[in-house]
Amino acid sequence: MAQINVKASLREIIALVLAVAGLAVYIVTSTTGYLAGTAMNVLPIVLTVVAVAALVVDIALGSRLPAVVRDLCVVGASALLAASIALFVMARVTLAADVYFIPVNYPAAEADALHISIAGVVCYLLADIALIVEAFAASRVARATIVVEPAAA
């Protein structure tokens, strides 16, 4: 069984959990309640699943991957999550317009769907921020160790 360095992968694990939570909120709000009868965009789901897969590979294989591949996993996952955020927000623009900008007799379910969606977007944003911090973290840089040995007599 492979050993996973939890301390080294903490930001990626946090990002993974938050991305899955954001995905769950997107799916739930798109298929239930006020938006139950509307068409759901599948692209944010696909992008998030690919990002989660990249993070799982990076966490599981860790130091066995070349540094370039590890960096590509983190940067690629961050870009995919950013695209998911954009698609999620764009799918909820009409809800925000109805609830916040045209507040005339909207159903309570519409406001509930919007507020739960905002929580999902926040999960996605926090996951992306965690990945951006991880990409710039010094702990990802392999360090060479210099050992000074005394001269043989």
Residue 93 has pLDDT above 60, yes or no: yes
pLDDT of residue 64: 87
High-pLDDT (> 70) share of the chain, %:
88
- Tell me the pLDDT band of 140, cut-offs 50, 70 and 90: low
- Contact by Cβ (8 Å): 47, 14: no
pTM for this entry: 0.85
Residue 6 has pLDDT above 80, yes or no: no
Q: What integer best gives the mean pLDDT of the chain?
A: 88
Name all contacts of 21-26 with Cβ < 8 Å and 24+ positions apart: 21/120, 21/123, 22/48, 22/84, 22/88, 22/120, 22/121, 22/123, 22/124, 22/127, 23/48, 23/49, 23/52, 23/84, 24/120, 25/116, 25/117, 25/119, 25/120, 25/123, 26/84, 26/88, 26/117, 26/120
Residue 113 has pLDDT above 50, yes or no: yes
Q: Could you read off the pLDDT of 45-74 as tens digits, one per residue?
A: 999 999 999 999 999 988 888 888 999 999
- Tell me the pLDDT band of 105, cut-offs 50, 70 and 90: confident
pLDDT of residue 63: 80
